[in-house]
């Protein structure tokens, strides 16, 4: 049913993504799909990596680790952005097409008052993506 499952990850908060990572891995194992871990980083040095290339290597290592841990096929794709806080959603929507994902599984936060002013990333992706999106809380 699904062949490529895109899983947006924030390497700075990977420990908070466990439910979404497990859900994506279970779906990938069930359907024999590849889990594609997608990350967006800044073009400036960050706490995660000094360069976009270093970030891409760390994301690839994360994907390989998830593949070994969960027994699934994995891939990764990193994107660099001038300001991920502003263009995260368009970048993730671009990634849906470029990774040829037919499902997106992403972590979502518990709604709060800030969501009245700034839409959540998951809601934005679910609204605009051409594929199914599963938000995991």
* Residue-level pLDDT, tens digit, the chain, 137 residues: 999 999 999 999 888 899 999 999 999 999 999 999 999 999 999 999 999 999 999 999 999 999 999 999 999 999 999 888 889 999 999 999 999 999 999 998 766 666 666 668 888 899 999 999 999 98
Residue 38 near residue 67, CB atoms below 8 Å? no
Q: Which residues of 13-32 are buried (b: 16+ CB within 10 A; e: fewer)?
A: ebeebeebbebbbebbeeee
Strand arrangement, sheet containing 73-81: 73-81, 34-42, 4-8, 103-107, 132-136
pLDDT on residue 116: 64
Q: Indicate the CATH number of 4-135 among 2.30.30.140, 3.40.1190.20, 3.40.50.620, 3.40.50.720.
A: 3.40.50.620
Domain coordinates of the chain in residue numbers?
4-135
The token pair at 44 is: 């400036």
pLDDT on residue 120: 80
Specify the pTM.
Answer: 0.92
């Amino acid at each position: 049913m699904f062949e490529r499952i895109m899983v947006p990850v924030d390497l700075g908060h990977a420990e908070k993504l466990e439910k979404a990572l497990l859900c994506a891995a279970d779906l990938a194992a069930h359907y024999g799909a590849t889990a594609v871990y997608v990350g967006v980083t800044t073009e400036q040095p960050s706490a995660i990596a000094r360069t976009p290339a270093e970030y891409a290597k760390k994301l690839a290592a994360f994907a390989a680790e998830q593949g070994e841990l969960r027994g699934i096929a994995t891939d990764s794709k990193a994107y660099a952005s001038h300001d991920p806080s502003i263009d995260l959603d368009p970048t993730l929507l671009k990634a849906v097409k470029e990774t040829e994902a037919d499902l997106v599984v992403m972590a979502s936060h518990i709604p709060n008052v800030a969501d009245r002013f700034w839409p959540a990333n998951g809601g934005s992706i679910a609204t605009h993506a051409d594929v199914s999106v599963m938000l995991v809380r």
